[in-house]
Amino acid sequence: MFVRQVLRFAYKECYGLKWTDIDFDNGCINIERQMQYQDGIIKLVRLKTRNAKRKIYINDILKQHLIKVRQKNLESEEKYKLQRRQNQTMICNTNGLPVSSLVLVNTLSNGKIQTVNSMKYHSKTIKEKLGIDFKYHYLRHTYGTRLAELNTPTHILCNQMGHGSPIVTQKYYLAISKQGIDIIKEKANEL
């Protein structure tokens, strides 16, 4: 899904997203839970850390994309009503109660759930067909690095990435880059 490609979600957080987590009016997504397999059972569980629970701000392109996906989803509710009912999966919510997979953002239009294992299939296919060793986490790292290169204040970058300490953010996202070196060389020439 497009969200995974442009945001700093951990993949388990992305698969745990419900439509109610997206605030279209304010242009943000609330990260409240993650999807995990526990003893072979798909569950929505609490996030790993207190700081992982956060509000992520989205750009207009992503917002418009999500509006289109949501509209398509709403149209599918009627068009594929019987298939959706048959294909839905009841999973354990964070409160221990069952919840339909149909409330999740990553459920297909026919009602089939997409899980954290769905990404493994695509990663394997990318490696076999293109020879690229793709890991979902690389998207998150690239996003964080790009935000850092745009001089995003460390405390904001830390918040958006869900880190509890700026030390973690600095270690992984504020590294020396070619772009940073080019800026240093340019500034040195101005001295």
Report, as an integer, the average pLDDT of 58-74.
Answer: 91
Which has more confidence, 179 or 52? 52
Model pLDDT for residues 72-104, shown as the tens digit of each residue: 999 999 999 999 999 999 999 999 999 999 999
Whether the pLDDT of residue 148 is over 90: the answer is no
Whether the pLDDT of residue 24 is over 70: the answer is yes
CA 51 to chain centre: 15
Calpha distance 145→148 (Å, rounded)? 5
pTM equals 0.76
User: Would you list the DSSP string of 65-93?
Assistant: HHHHHHHHHHHHHHHTHHHHHHH--EEE-
Most trustworthy range by pLDDT among 94-103, 130-139, 151-160, 171-180: 94-103
Q: Classify each residue of 53-89 as buried b or exposed e, where b means 16 or more C-beta atoms within 10 Å of its C-beta.
A: ebebebeeebbebbeebeeebeebeeebeeebeebbb
Ordered by start, the domain boundaries in the chain are: 2-132, 135-191
Whether the pLDDT of residue 36 is over 50: the answer is yes
Model pLDDT for residues 109-146, shown as the tens digit of each residue: 999 999 988 878 888 888 899 998 877 777 777 777 77
Report, as an integer, the average pLDDT of 57-72.
Answer: 91
